[in-house]
Amino acid sequence: MAQNETTTSNGSTRSVDGSGYTQVYDEVGDAVASIRVYYDYGGAAQGSGFLYGDGYLVTNEHVVAGASEYYVRFTDSDWQEVSVVGTDVYSDLAVLDIESVPADAPALRLVDSTPDIGTRVVAIGNPFGLSGSVSEGIVSGVDRTLEGANNFSIAAGLQTDAAVNPGNSGGPLVDLDGDVVGVINSGGGDNVGFAISSQLVQRVVPALIEDGNYDHPYMGVTLQNVSPLVAAANRLDDASGVYIDSTLPGGPAEGVLEGSTDTQRIEGVEVGVGGDIVRRLGDTPIATRGDLATYLALETSPGEAMDVTVQRDGSTETVSLTVGTRPEPQG
């Protein structure tokens, strides 16, 4: 294989120099739209979106939140007014209904699995209102925990060094096959951008189209990574796993999992002691909060029973927890 070629999913090769990125843009650029929204108080905001399925556009919830009018424009089309089908603040995803779709604009495909770190990607969107802008980079990290609403987080996020700026929000992050690996969510600084994974998109978006909302799995606990201080206070052999600090009243974990029974001061820090240490969910080892959040978000649904293997009082046991539904956002 030549130095500047990569193998695509169908076994062919593609250049990854400028001409290769041009080819990706030629394949998917027509499916990416500019979004402009207006508020009752007279303000306006902008973002990006991309075609999904038959006549729908995926974008971020924060792009459309609080607005009263919504307009979309593709590369070679006029602005058209659209409506919101559904929104989900917890995943920062929204779906718009579009009546007029350009004939040559294909609905984009979403990948089914987490991309490898180092996968070459292209971000397409409308930073600062500059429609059809392209930036390139790689997948810099996976299973990132993104900031969400009401002290919840967005699990299974992607990190990229492709440049993303205000206005890119809601646009696609695609691989060199032109398939969506994530929905651009935010930029975190120089060479750090984040996207909502295609796996979470594929769970949330169909529900938004069908019902206008999505029910997120919920355990009803407060938790933290097992840090060296938590490990020392709880006399653990290694600083790994997830510590249950408390179970919330009336939540799924109440009476099933055990939270802190006391605190201990270690190196000047108050640390919970006596709580369960989560080691596995189902058959999946859990080493961090990110592992727990990803499993809960992608592998479970409300109403399902889930095996939770915990270390408790020096021994290991497995309990069954019925997954609940995350409470409605407040405020």
pLDDT in tens, 226-240: 999 999 999 999 999
Name which of 273, 276, 262, 259 is nearest 319 in CA terms.
Answer: 276
Q: What region, left, alpha or beta, does residue 231 occupy, with left being phi > 0 and alpha being psi -120 to 50 degrees?
A: alpha
Q: What is the pLDDT of residues 283-323, one digit of tens each?
A: 999 999 999 999 999 999 999 999 999 999 989 999 999 99
Tell me the C-alpha distance between 145 and 94, whole Å: 19
Residues in a beta bridge with 79: none
pLDDT above 70 for 17 = no
In the set 30, 48, 62, 291, the catalytic residue is 62
Number of Cβ atoms within 10 Å of the Cβ of 27:
16
More confident: 319 or 42: 319
Choose the catalytic residue: 135, 169, 186, 246: 169
Q: How many Å apart are CA 180 and CA 178, to the nearest integer?
A: 7
pLDDT of residue 11: 44
Out of 30, 88, 92, 276, pick the active-site residue.
92
Q: Which amino acid is at 51?
A: L
Give the mean pLDDT of 109-114.
95
Q: What is the pLDDT of residue 19?
A: 65
Q: What is the mean pLDDT of residues 47-76?
A: 95
Beta-carbon count within 10 A of 233 CB: 23
Residue 278: closest CA among 328, 322, 326, 222: 222
- CA pair distance 63, 49, nearest whole angstrom: 9
As to burial, measured by CB atoms within 10 angstroms (0-12 exposed, 13-18 middle, 19+ buried), residue 192 is middle
> Which pLDDT score, from 0 to 100, does residue 274 have?
97
Domains of the chain by start residue, with CATH: 108-203 (2.40.10.10), 217-325 (2.30.42.10)
| pLDDT exceeds 50 at position 176 | yes
To the query of whether residue 92 is one of the catalytic residues in this protein, the response is yes
Whether residue 218 contacts residue 251, with contact meaning beta carbons closer than 8 Å, is answered with: yes
Distance CA 105, CA 32 (A): 8
5 - beta bridge partners?
15
DSSP state of 96: E
Averaged pLDDT score across all residues of the chain: 91
Q: How confident is the model at residue 256 (pLDDT cuts 50, 70, 90)?
A: very high
pLDDT at 18 over 60: no
* pLDDT for the residue numbered 2: 44
216 is annotated as an active-site residue: no
pTM: 0.90
Q: Is 169 a catalytic residue?
A: yes
143-156: pLDDT as tens digits? 998 988 778 889 99
